[in-house]
Chains A and B, each alone.
Chain A
Amino acid sequence: MSAVELDCVAKVYPNGTVAVSELSLSVDDGEFMVLVGPSGCGKTTALRMVAGLEEITSGTIRIGDRTVNQLAPKDRDIAMVFQNYALYPHMTVAANIGFPLQLHGVPKDEIARRVDEAATLLGLEQLVDRKPGQLSGGQRQRVAMGRAIVREPSLFLMDEPLSNLDAKLRVQMRAEVARLQQRVGVTTIYVTHDQTEAMTMGDRVAVMRAGLLEQVDTPQALYDDPDSLFVGAFIGSPSMNLYQARLDISGNASGSIELGGQKLGLPADVLTSRPGLQRYKGRPVVVGIRPEDLSEEDGRSESDGGRLKADVLLVEALGSESLVHFDLGVPIFEVEGTRSAVEDQGDVAPHLAGIGGTARFGPRTTVAVGTAIGLRVGTARLHFFDPADGRAIRD
């Protein structure tokens, strides 16, 4: 077990592709760190540099108290789970799991004992004599995990280990992998393009975009307080509703934003808690509203004032809640690079992508498609971003 430190690590492939530029990240001892980002943003490359499978163009990587830049993978005391598992097809399950021990010169009877232990932990006892070809996807995934944990390395690296499983098994293995990591307590760097996986598994999540680190924080902090438009749009499902708007501040007390033809009032505390907004007086901003911060207008409560009118396009009743897709008459603000990633996760009906927005209503909502409704906006939880550089506007 050890901490991992990436210091200004960069990777330029021989063909000139800059896969990772200046990645600085520290992972604490025993921490489960998730690297998340859309496909092609350099996650795999970063992980492979930590593993020693890819040369580092510049920067330093430390595992524990050693700088490992020049160390071969075998000397880094790591274990890796590959996306396609990379099980050795000519070896039995037991031999696959025992292979790292065999390579490290562990005596035969101890190998047998530890393989047994790992197989039991993973529920593979019945399968130890099979070859990988005779296993199901979930079983192969477990064997790959077994091969990783058996040596008790100081660091686990996992590259989208669940992406080849079907949806149901993926959810199940998500919990299982997280539980296993907690149990063995080994520092883990876990790569995924799936933000749900990142949110549910990580102690902390590092969001990457185009070779750069956007933000590192706990899942909740990323969700509540994204540093950038990209993180705001990428984290959360259904994703944050983003619109370009104009900010008006009257005097010093309160203000409003103009969204299409509508005006949304901003109470004073929204402005005082985000002093940076003063600089955007009379200028365009991007406003972000989480679907759960939009609720059904019931004509009673007058508490925090913000209201918008919208036309209902589609209601998806999910049992525990209803997702109401609506049209505000304002186009969605497109964030480069998140659209495809969000669509990958399949939570936007394709014909609705690009227009309107989504609200989370209670399960018994009576709103009907084609009608106009009033949306109450939780203005205290609004997010504001600079439309030019995408940074969050806070102080």
Chain B
Amino acid sequence: MPALRRRLRWPGWGRVGFYLAVLVVLAVSLFPFYWIVRTSLETSAEFSAGTTSLLPAHLTFSNYTQAFTQADFARPLLNSAIIALATTAVSVFFGSLAGYAMARLRVPSGPILTFILVAGFFPVLAMVGPLFLLYRHLGFLDSIYPLIVTYLVYTLPIATWLLRNFFAQIPPDLEEAALVDGATRLRALWKVVVPVAVPGVFTAAILSFILAWNDFAFALSFLQTPSKFTAPLAIVNLGQTQNAFQVMYNRIDAAVVIVTLPIALLVLLAQRRIVSGLTAGALR
């Protein structure tokens, strides 16, 4: 429809307005992040001197290096990585099995699904108290592994629900073909159903990872020893110095940038997967 497109292009005031709106939204959502990056690249002297320009006077990476040399930010990053990856792996694995069962077997999945969704959106702060008491009884406090279980309370239902919906869209013929070709049900699931549901698997994995990686409330409540801190929790302490009145905001911001990067990369990489994941052709 070239005619239609040309008419939209020029004199396309509607289009100009559209891009203006996009610019505004982009500015509003990206400016805070820009400011964090900017601050993280300043010295604390410059920071204290106050802001005079949108651009930093000169760039320094000292905040980044200090985060690792003076404050040992590597340890909490590692903790967070262990927790988030483990949460993701368990969510996707069991979410696939449960989602598959609900998509294929004749279980009354309606009520279960509703329950799962409610569980997945249960307010975090309402959960902190009871879990704290429970974990104290079990001796689970101040350890990173119980955090994985905690996050699973949220990620597993969401992953199950998402994957169930993806699996339900995959024609049963596909796995029946695999069964006849010589696969067991489990093998058909891993070799055919899950690969075809790749967009769903990636979405579930990313959501699980982000939830575990970003959590602050549970980590704050359950952890005490600094060496066990997760990255978000460690960031708070990172700003502290011997001088109780001085907070190293530049260093905090450097850590925030470090913590944000994996998530941003993950989403960018997975986005391509999600788009190219399912090309039709199994069926006519």
**Residues of chain A whose beta carbon lies under 8 Å from any beta carbon of chain B:** 14, 51-53, 72-74, 78-80, 82-90, 99-100, 103-104, 131-135, 137, 140, 147, 151, 157, 164
Contact = CB atoms under 8 A, between A and B. Distances in A.
B282 A103 contact: no
A84 B171 contact: yes
Contacts of B183: 74, 103
Nearest to B280: A133
Nearest to B284: A164
B284 A53 contact: no
B136 interface: no
A17 B229 CA distance: 60
Given A89-B281, A103-B182, 7 more contacts: A74-B180, A82-B173, A86-B171, A86-B173, A90-B198, A133-B281, A147-B177
A133 B282 CA distance: 7
Contacts of A151: 181-182
B278 A73 contact: no
A86 B182 contact: no
Given A86-B171, A90-B196, A132 B281 contact: yes
Given A82-B176, A86-B171, A88-B174, A104 B279 contact: no
A53 B178 CA distance: 11
Interface residues of B, number: 25
Contacts of B174: 86, 88
Contact of B182 (A14, A74, A83, A134): A74
Contacts of A83: 173
Contacts of A132: 281-282
Given A72-B179, A74-B180, A84 B173 contact: yes
Contacts of A157: 180
Contacts of A99: 178, 181
B283 interface: yes
Nearest to A48: B176
Interface string B95-109: 000000000001000
Interface string B48-85: 00000000000000000000000000000000000000
A74 B281 contact: no
Contact of A89 (B178, B181, B184, B196): B196
Given A74-B184, A147-B181, A86 B176 contact: yes
A131 B279 contact: yes
Interface string B247-284: 00000000000000000000000000000001111111
A199 B192 CA distance: 36
A73 B174 CA distance: 14
Contact of A53 (B171, B180, B283): B180
B284 A137 contact: yes
Which of B176, B177, B192 has the most A CB atoms < 10 Å from its CB? Answer: B177
B110 to A, nearest CB: 18
10 contacts: A52-B179, A52-B180, A53-B176, A73-B176, A85-B282, A86-B177, A86-B283, A90-B195, A134-B281, A140-B281
